[in-house]
A = this chain, B = another copy of it.
Amino acid sequence: MNAPALPQHLIPQAQPREVPQALLDALQARFGEQFSAALVVREQHGRDESAFSMPPPAAVVFAQSTRDVADAVRLAASDRVPVIPFGVGSSLEGHLLAVQGGISIDVGRMSQVLSINAEDLTVTVQPGVTRKQLNEAVKSTGLFFPIDPGADASLGGMAATRASGTNAVRYGTMRENVLALEVVTASGEVIRTGTRAKKSSAGYDLTRLMVGSEGTLGVMTEITLKLYPLPEAVMAATCSFSSLADAVNTTIAIIQMGVPIARCELLDDNTIRMVNAHSKLSLREGAMLLMEFHGSPDSVKEQVQTVQDIASDHGGQAFEWADTPEARTKLWTARHNAYFAGIQSRPGCRAITTDTCVPISRLADALLDSVAEAQAAKLPYFLVGHVGDGNFHMGYLIDPDIPEERVRAEQLNSQLVERALKLGGTCTGEHGVGLHKMEFLRSEAGDGAVEMMRTIKRALDPDNILNPGKIFSL
């Protein structure tokens, strides 16, 4: 009998299109030292944090301006050669892989904060600006940009995947926080979508169509974002629970009560052990909620009181408070390091990460059964969750040299997604579809909706050159 094999849809086959030498020559001539076909550079741009491997792109263009992007797209378009936008390479789902070959357009050097309109709470950036760089740039204005997916991702990548992270429960995702875009289309034309007005009914919402389109409908070259006043008071807290169910049910109650909590994150006991080992902490080993409250001093006090009451009703204990910036940073660094703590807990391993999001009342069903399944499968895992949004990630820690572990992890992921869809949820809360979730998207959205996406793609990119082979097969 054969060992169980990966389902076919999880073995994306490279189908590289021909990249004519004349195109490479033309790119070299146009871009000079901003062009590279060196293998090491191509390989850097041919992988991401996903479990897939693929031959690298044929070359890399380091764009420094909208004009650069437009010219690179136009040149590639004339030979029907794919272009793949590249930010910092932190995708988890294979978005950056050159599955149909082509040219990587690295926008990392487009890293200017173009204009800060503090009086309107907006900022316009180039796509290579990272979220930390942005917050550094706006610091003196008393404003901040809340979206925080963990990695110090580029804002172009975050917009392209509709990213969110720990603050989304209060401040929304990239969907809610991108106001306007400048985009290079498949023909190399530059268009603008949206304005700096807070709301608009002016035609199709092209901004929201581009956000989350994973580079398949255009290359973003400018991004206008919302900013928020730094809260007058901030309080962070951890609370331990003797069971995962208690922690999850506390979260559900907090959201249902309408507490405007700014962050509400979950780690299970297993993950706490990993974080303690990695970050040399001594957090109590048990399911833990990590929370943050923003507002006026009185409002923060009120939120804290409400949440303490709810948590106590569910057996929450060992509340620890962090009210200085240093203490908060330490606490959140531990949370952000959970991914790496997980990886480090099994040297040489690779994480297969899940990303479902369900309606808040179904969170316990979705999460507890998935953890039980992972434990029964005896596969090491970590569990982190933006549980206030109904979104959680399991990372199955597999040995890449044991193919059977990958199969088991993908099987667990598949069961987890199926469960989430049955509960009214989505296969991806924030990582995107990429190469990994194309089949899940079909289950979730149905053939009709996926065909509508394909129809839009074909209309806007008739030669299928913009990051082809992602989201759906085409």
Chain B residue contacts of A450, Cβ below 8 A: 203
Copies of this protein in the assembly total: 2
Stretch at the interface among A130-138, A318-326, A370-378, A437-445: A437-445
| Bound-state Cα–Cα, A281 to B76, Å | 67
Partner of A212, one of B204, B211, B427: B204
Chain B residue contacts of A459, Cβ below 8 A: 455-456, 458-459
* Inter-chain contact A433/B201, CB cutoff 8 Å: yes
Partner of A205, one of B209, B252, B390: B209
* Inter-chain contact A197/B258, CB cutoff 8 Å: no
A437/B357 contact (C-beta < 8 A), A192-B446, A302-B299, A390-B197 known: no
| Bound-state Cα–Cα, A102 to B161, Å | 40
| Bound-state Cα–Cα, A389 to B197, Å | 8
Q: Which of A164, A198, A429, A455 counts the most B-chain CB atoms under 10 A from its CB? A: A198
A199/B119 contact (C-beta < 8 A), A162-B205, A209-B209, A448-B191 known: no
Chain B residue contacts of A191, Cβ below 8 A: 446, 448-449, 452
Partner of A201, one of B217, B228, B390, B431: B431
| Bound-state Cα–Cα, A229 to B200, Å | 26
Q: List 18 A-B contacts (CB under 8 A).
A: A117-B359, A120-B360, A120-B361, A175-B208, A192-B446, A195-B421, A195-B424, A195-B444, A197-B391, A198-B360, A199-B389, A199-B426, A200-B428, A203-B441, A205-B211, A208-B209, A452-B460, A459-B459
Additional A-B contact list (15), CB under 8 Å, known A197-B425, A200-B428: A121-B255, A173-B199, A196-B359, A198-B357, A198-B360, A199-B389, A200-B357, A202-B433, A202-B441, A203-B212, A204-B217, A204-B456, A205-B212, A295-B299, A299-B299
- Please report A residues at the B interface, Cβ cutoff 8 Å: 117, 119-122, 161-164, 168, 172-173, 175-176, 185, 189-193, 195-206, 208-209, 211-213, 217, 228-229, 252, 255-258, 295-296, 298-299, 302, 355, 357-362, 389-391, 421, 424-433, 437, 440-441, 444-446, 448-450, 452-453, 455-456, 458-460, 471-472
